[in-house]
Structure 1
Amino acid sequence: MSIVIHWEAFFQVLGAALVGTVVVVGFYALGLRMMVRSGRSPVVTPAEFTDAITVISEKEARRAAKAAVKAAKKSPLSGGQRTLALLAAYGCFAVCLLAVVGGILLIVVR
């Protein structure tokens, strides 16, 4: 019994994985950047974890939320530019969603 490796198929999968990774990570990062530019920086509330992870206090969380609101007020963009940046962020997240759904469909349908 001999094992045959189909190198062409291997490199097709490798290329698709690399391109998919770059698309998802790149557009997600760009979407986060556009969301921050629009004045809507995502603030994550702290969760309770085990001793292995340092948890920020409620005071630090309130301070971070206050800093995010203050930074949003200091934005040099006009209202229309902020709206455009927010729409661009949603568009970037939509591209990420389509890439993930397309990858899942490729796996399931084939």
Structure 2
Amino acid sequence: MTVHVDWTAFVQVFGAALAGAVLVVGFYALGLRMLVRAGRAPVVAPAEFPDAITVMTDKQIRRAAKAAEKAARKSPLSDGQKRLALVAAYGSFGLCGLAVLGGLLLIVVR
């Protein structure tokens, strides 16, 4: 019994997976960066787990939200620039979603 490995197909799959990962992570990071530039820094309260190492108190969460609001007010960008950054953020998240859908289509169609 002989096992044959198609190494070119292996390299193609590896390349597609690497490119997909880079695209998804890159577009997501760019989207988050543009959200911050637009003055809409996402403040997410951490979930409380019983075995969590650290859990933020309500006071710490309010302080983080206040700091995000202060940073948004201090932004040197004009309203037009903030709007453009917000559009770029949503576009980047959209491209991230399209990269995921493209990967799923590659799996389903083949």
State the TM bucket, normalised to the shorter chain: over 0.9
Over the residues paired in the alignment, what is the CA RMSD in angstroms?
A: 0.8
> What is the DSSP-based 3-state SS (H/G/I as helix, E as strand, rest coil) of the residue aligned with 1:99?
helix
Q: What is the match of residue 101 of structure 2?
A: 101
- Measured in 2, the distance between the counterparts of 1:46 and 1:24 equals 24
Question: Given residue 13 of structure 1, which amino acid in structure 2 is its aligned partner?
Answer: V
Q: What is the match of residue 31 of structure 1?
A: 31
Question: Given residue 53 of structure 1, which amino acid in structure 2 is its aligned partner?
Answer: I
Q: Give the C-alpha shift of residue 106 in structure 1.
A: 1.3
Q: What is the match of residue 17 of structure 2?
A: 17
Q: Give the C-alpha shift of residue 47 in structure 1.
A: 1.6
1:3 equivalent in alignment to 2:6: no
Question: 1:10-89 counterparts in 2 under 5 A?
Answer: 10-89=10-89
- Which runs of 5 or more residues in structure 2 are unaligned? none
- Measured in 2, the distance between the counterparts of 1:53 and 1:99 equals 34
- Residue identity over aligned pairs, in percent, reads 70
Q: Give the C-alpha shift of residue 86 in structure 1.
A: 0.3
Give the stretch that moved more between structures: 98-107 or 69-78: 98-107
- Which runs of 5 or more residues in structure 1 are unaligned? none
Moved over 3 A (4+): none
- Measured in 2, the distance between the counterparts of 1:78 and 1:52 equals 41
| TM-score, structure 1 as length reference | 0.96
Deviation string 1:8-36 (CA, Å, 9 cap, x unpaired) is 10000010011111111111111100000
> What is the DSSP-based 3-state SS (H/G/I as helix, E as strand, rest coil) of the residue aligned with 1:5?
coil
- Measured in 1, the distance between the counterparts of 2:109 and 2:44 equals 36
